[in-house]
Amino acid sequence: MSDILLKVEDVSQAVGVAASTIRKYSFLIEKQGYTFSRSNQGALMYDKEEVSIFKDIIQIKKQKNMTLEKAVQRALSNMSDMVDIADISRDLYDDVSDMSDVRDVSKAIAAMQAQVKAVLDQNEKVLLQNQELIRKVERLEDTSLLEKEKIENRDKLLLDAMKEIKETKKAIATSLEENRKALQKKWWEFWK
């Protein structure tokens, strides 16, 4: 197989027929089991040996009572040895390119695994931080609850103290009132 690959338009110029004719011949040739190279976009590509197949088909087709299908079969049978060699070399080329693809995929997988591991490590750190924050929040809630209880107890004690002070003031006021009334009594009214 040659290193130079030609497009349909280049082959049509080299052979002297329309590009659509080359495509039609390619279809008929592939129908017989032969496969042509294709570009990354899927366009047909041809080497020099394959161009000679098209030239043979055109020459054979010019014979009297020769159909296109028969011309394709005869040209392929004339080139069968070359076709076998081309298939083998194409298979080897595909195997080599598949191996490089496997290496590329393997490298990509290794890179992705490293990224996944980094993300998992980061997630684990975030999880630990979240757990620590939850523990701190729980401690703050406990502290807040204790503070609230202390404040409630203090308020209760203050209210109780205020009640006692009020009752004491009331008792003192009553006692003072009684003393005042007693002082206002004349000495002879003390026994009443």
Q: Is 134 contained in some domain? A: no
DSSP 8-state code for residue 64: T
Q: Is 54 contained in some domain? A: yes
Q: How does pLDDT run across 92-125, given as a tens digit for each residue?
A: 666 666 677 778 888 889 889 999 999 999 988 9
Say what the pTM is. 0.41
Coil, helix or strand at residue 39: coil
**The 3-state secondary structure of 109-167, one letter per residue:** HHHHHHHHHHHHHHHHHHHHHHHHHHHHHHHHHHHHHHHHHHHHHHHHHHHHHHHHHHH
CA distance 19 to 61: 17
Tally of structural domains, the chain: 1
Q: pLDDT tens string for the chain (192 positions)?
A: 456 889 989 988 998 999 899 899 889 888 888 888 898 998 899 988 888 899 988 888 888 888 888 888 888 887 765 545 556 666 666 666 667 777 888 888 988 999 999 999 998 898 888 889 889 988 988 888 889 899 999 999 999 999 999 999 999 989 888 888 777 777 666 666
Q: Is 59 contained in some domain? A: yes
Q: Is 39 contained in some domain? A: yes
Domain hosting residue 27, numbered range = 8-78
Task: Provide the b/e sequence for 45-82 (b: ≥16 CB within 10 Å).
Answer: bbbeebbbbbebbbebbeeeeeeeeebbbbbbeebeee
DSSP 8-state code for residue 45: E
- Give one DSSP letter per residue of 152-172, joined into a string: HHHHHHHHHHHHHHHHHHHHH
Q: Is 66 contained in some domain? A: yes
Q: In this predicted structure, what is the pLDDT of residue 80? A: 67
Q: In this predicted structure, what is the pLDDT of residue 156? A: 92
Q: Say which CATH number the domain at 65 has.
A: 1.10.1660.10
DSSP 8-state code for residue 3: S
Q: Is 124 contained in some domain? A: no
Q: Is 40 contained in some domain? A: yes
Q: Is 146 contained in some domain? A: no
